[in-house]
Amino acid sequence: MRNLIRKLDEKSTLEKEEWIWLFEHRDLIDREELFALARARTYEHYEHKIFVRGLIEFTNYCRNNCYYCGIRSGNQLVSRFRLTTEEILDCCQLSYEAGFRTVVLQGGEDAFFTKERLCEIIEAIRRKFPEVAITLSIGERPREDYEAFFLAGAERFLLRHETYSPSHYARLHPENLSAKARQKCLTDLKEIGYQAGSGFMVGSPYQTPENLAEDFLYLKELDPQMIGIGPFIAHKDTPFGAMTSGTVADTLLCIALLRLMLPKVLLPSTTSLGALALDGRKKGVLAGANVLMQNVTPSAQRLNYTLYNNKERAKDIDLSPDNPLFKELEQLGYAIVSERGDSKNV
């Protein structure tokens, strides 16, 4: 196992069979050694900087019915909301005042937000906060919409591929959605010039070591600027409500392996990791992640943007520099910086 990790670190890649073997025998991995190596690679490219993004969940309407997701169209128990342009700008202001120089607009696939409406919102943010990077996470759209958003001033786009395997994808989504269509969007986004982010859920139902191997190989080939991974967490009002959730341990392992495979990529320590364990996000950083997402959505709406079971959402998010997570990371030698934090994987 040690030789395999060394090979990954030196060559930044493994063969498919090697990835499968690694995931099948992951108990043999010396985690502390792996995480230390991953941290060293992060440091080489980003030093001890942690970039913070202001996350704005601006709509929980969604036309899709993904089996795992709490805001799926079939969930009648969700109270649906959309933020107005004014409210979105207020969130941007909050994020700016907290020192964050990236906003992430995330939402369900909501037809109300037409190409024109979204362009107006992006332009309004651009005018008011010229030095802030605008990231979109709004799912699948026609290429011409992506082009229009880019021209309006959005520079980054997060779209997890979810799982590379078409058959696994089909077990997680209804048949109007496909792995191929999702991957086509990622190719479009990269070609247009976005800093693109992809990723998958760790421990999603039916996920096998082979699926994970294919996810890693796909990400290597896509060569994105960012990779967002987090544990699958069951949501009680979905078809997967009784499924076993992913684990913190497997997520940390994947973060560290991704860091060795694509050392310059931006890797968030995601909110879902924080939802599974109080110190989950700190552990993510210690496994090689270098981005944090701070939710700046007003608390009333945030409570209704529930992708998975999560007690933490009820709490107000602390945006002050005295935020305990920031403080703890600073004590460990990290610097929470007020920068756009562009990817070096260009």
Residues that bind ligand SAM (CB under 6 A): 68-69, 106, 108-109, 137-139, 159-160, 162, 201, 230, 232-233, 235, 272, 307-308
Query: Residue 102 has which token pair?
Result: 């990236």
Q: Are 178 and 140 in contact (CB under 8 A)?
A: no
3-state secondary structure of 204: coil
How far are the Cα atoms of 4, 15, 266, 270 from residue 257, in angstroms, in the given order?
11, 14, 13, 16
- Conformational region of residue 230, where left means phi above 0, alpha means psi within -120 to 50, and beta covers everything else: beta
Which CB, 68 or 169, lies closer to ligand SAM? Answer: 68
* Contact assessment for residue 184 and residue 222, using Cβ atoms and an 8 Å cutoff: no
CB neighbour class for 116 (10 Å; exposed up to 12, middle 13-18, buried from 19):
exposed
- CA 243 vs. chain centroid, Å, equals 21
In angstroms, give the least distance from the CB of 17 to ligand SAM: 27
Q: Which two tokens stand for residue 88?
A: 């979105």
Let me know: does 302 contact 107? Beta carbons within 8 Å: no
Q: Least distance to ligand SAM from the beta carbon of 326, Å? A: 24
Give least dist CB 270 to ligand SAM, A: 8
Q: Which is nearer to ligand SAM, 138 or 285 (CB)?
A: 138
Q: Which two tokens stand for residue 202?
A: 């760790």
Measured CA to CA, the distance from residue 216 to residue 14 in angstroms comes to 9
Choose between 14 and 165: whose C-beta lies nearer to ligand SAM: 165
Contact partners, residue 346, CB within 8 Å, separation at least 6: 195, 225
- Long-range contacts, 92-97 (Cβ 8 Å, 24+): 92/54, 92/56, 92/125, 92/128, 92/129, 92/132, 92/296, 94/54, 94/296, 94/319, 95/54, 95/56, 95/132, 95/294, 95/296, 95/319, 96/54, 96/129, 96/132, 97/319
Q: Which is nearer to ligand SAM, 250 or 328 (CB)?
A: 250
